[in-house]
Chains A and B, each alone.
Chain A
Amino acid sequence: MDDNVIICQCEDVTWGEIRQALEKGYTTLDEIKRVTRAGMGRCQGTTCRRIILREIAKFCHKSIEEVAIPTFRPPTKPVKLGTLAGDDDD
Chain B
Amino acid sequence: MIKRASVVIIGGGVIGCSIAYNLAKLGCKDVVLFEKNSLSSGATGRCGAGIRQQFGTKMNCILARESIKIFENLSQELDYDIELNQGGYLILAYTEKEVNQFKKNVALERSLDIDARFISVDEAKEIVPPLNAEGILAATFCPTDGHANPFKTNFAYAEAAQRLGVKIYTFTEVKEIGTENNKIVAVKTDKEKILTPIVVNAAGGYSGTIGKMAGVDLPVYSQRHQILVTEPLDPLFRPMLMSFSRNFYCQQTPHGSILMGCGDPNEPKGYDIGTSWQFAREIAQKMTTIVPLLKEVSMIRQWAGLYNMSPDAQPILGEHPQVEGFYMAIGFSGHGFMLAPVTSKLIAELILEGKTSLPIDKLDIGRFERGELIIEPSVV
CB pair A30 B41 closer than 8 Å: yes
Q: In the complex, what's the smallest C-beta–C-beta distance from B178 to chain A, in angstroms? A: 29
Set A81, A86, A87: member contacting B230, Cβ < 8 A: A81
CB pair A75 B288 closer than 8 Å: no
Q: Which of A25-47 contact B (CB under 8 A)?
A: 26, 28, 30-31, 34-35, 37, 40-42, 44
The residue on B at minimum CB distance from A78 is B298
Query: Any chain B CB within 8 A of the CB of A79?
Result: yes
Q: DSSP class of A's interface residues: helix, strand, loop or mixed?
A: loop
Which B residues lie within 8 Å of A30 (CB)? 38, 41
Contacts A73-B302, A74-B302, A78-B298 given: A84-B275 contact, CB under 8 Å? no
Q: Whole-angstrom distance between the alpha carbons of A81 and B284 in the complex?
A: 5
Q: How many residues of B contact A (CB 8 A)?
A: 30
The residue on A at minimum CB distance from B171 is A28
CB pair B284 A41 closer than 8 Å: no
The residue on B at minimum CB distance from A25 is B170
Q: In the complex, what's the smallest C-beta–C-beta distance from A39 to chain B, in angstroms? A: 10
CB pair B301 A40 closer than 8 Å: yes
Q: Which of B266-303 contact A (CB under 8 A)?
A: 275, 277, 280-281, 284-285, 287-288, 294-303
12 A–B pairs (Cβ distance < 8 Å), ordered by A:
A34-B39, A34-B40, A41-B232, A44-B300, A73-B275, A74-B275, A81-B284, A81-B294, A82-B284, A85-B284, A87-B288, A88-B295
Q: Lowest 6 CB-CB distances: which A-B pairs, in order?
A: A82-B295, A78-B298, A84-B284, A34-B151, A85-B284, A81-B284
A residues apposed to B, CB below 8 Å: 24, 26, 28, 30-31, 34-35, 37, 40-42, 44, 71, 73-75, 78-82, 84-88
